[in-house]
């Protein structure tokens, strides 16, 4: 009788978990788990971000080229960038580079949370019932991302973006970015996260932009604190103290 009762409890618990997954419209155990720390994966012969920035040729529309040229003429002499002012990169650059820093993915049945170490830039990817109606979404530099599974591939669709001339891949607010995430192994057997992504934006490009981004799994990796605003605040405190004629503790 004890074995029978235990078996019944197991079946009930299993059914409850299955019902929970169905209710959230999320993933089940058959889908890959992308959770963990992921570091940059550099293919042999792949250009550095500096080289890519210098030689990237994009099929801009005339209006987009005018906007991008005006922005670059404004900031290039100063060497300014959003990052120097503690502003996140925004998609697709946050996903592609983030200054070469790692990222962490926390995966749940109805949501993936992606934290890029650079600028502590945070991104949410929603599945199933967590997805808001389009009219309730707030535009953002990283947009609003929804997702669904196609076998072992997670398909992420991002819209509700803000226009960005300051991105490596500039785009309008009407841009749409579709990413296809899957797991793979390289020649050394390392676990690789592959993202085949497409940027579609008729207002900025005469043809869709397609590329592939890869990361390598870091089983012992951690994200370090990235508090960009702290130095600016401490500098401000020092300025106030100088005006007052006092001295700050050595910790500052």
Per-residue pLDDT, 19? 42
How would you class 50 by CB atoms within 10 Å of its CB: exposed for 0-12, middle for 13-18, buried for 19 or more? Answer: exposed
Please report, in tens digits, the pLDDT of each residue of the chain (252 residues total). 444 444 333 333 344 434 444 444 444 558 999 999 999 898 777 777 677 777 889 999 999 999 999 999 999 999 888 988 999 999 999 999 877 899 999 999 999 999 999 999 999 999 999 999 999 999 999 999 999 999 999 999 999 999 999 999 999 999 999 999 999 999 999 999 999 999 999 999 999 999 999 999 999 999 999 988 888 888 888 888 888 876 666 655
Per-residue pLDDT, 150? 97
Q: How much is the pTM?
A: 0.82
Per-residue pLDDT, 249? 62
Spell out the residues 6+ positions from residue 227 whose beta carbon is closer than 8 angstroms to its own.
Answer: 120
Per-residue pLDDT, 29? 56
Look at residues 196, 28, 168, 47 and name the one whose alpha carbon lies nearest to residue 108.
Answer: 28
Element holding 216 (H helix, E strand):
strand 209-217
Retrieve residue 196's tokens.
Answer: 């085949």
What is the distance between the alpha carbons of residues 76 and 217, in angstroms, rounded to a whole number? 35
Domain boundaries, the chain: 28-218
């Amino acid at each position: 009788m004890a074995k029978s009762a235990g078996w019944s409890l197991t079946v009930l618990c299993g059914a409850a978990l299955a019902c929970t997954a169905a209710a959230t419209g999320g993933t089940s155990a058959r889908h890959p788990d992308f959770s963990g720390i992921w570091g940059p994966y550099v293919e042999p012969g792949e250009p550095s971000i500096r080289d890519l920035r210098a030689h990237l040729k994009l099929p801009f529309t005339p209006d987009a080229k005018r906007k991008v040229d005006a922005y670059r003429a404004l900031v290039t002499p100063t060497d300014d960038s959003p990052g120097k002012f503690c502003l996140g990169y925004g998609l697709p650059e946050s996903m592609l580079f983030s200054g070469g820093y790692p990222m962490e993915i926390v995966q749940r049945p109805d949501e993936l949370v992606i934290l890029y170490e650079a600028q502590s830039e945070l991104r949410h990817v929603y599945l199933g019932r967590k997805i808001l109606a389009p009219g309730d979404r707030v535009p953002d530099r990283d947009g609003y991302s929804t997702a669904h599974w196609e076998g072992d591939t997670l398909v992420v669709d991002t819209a509700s973006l803000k226009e960005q001339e300051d991105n490596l891949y500039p785009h309008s607010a009407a841009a749409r970015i579709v990413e296809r995430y899957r797991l793979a192994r390289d020649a050394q057997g390392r676990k690789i996260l592959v993202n085949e992504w497409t940027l579609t934006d008729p207002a900025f490009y005469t043809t869709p932009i397609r590329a592939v981004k890869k990361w390598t799994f870091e089983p012992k990796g951690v994200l370090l604190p990235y508090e960009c605003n702290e130095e600016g605040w401490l500098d401000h405190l020092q300025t106030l103290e100088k005006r007052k004629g006092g001295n700050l503790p050595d910790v500052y």
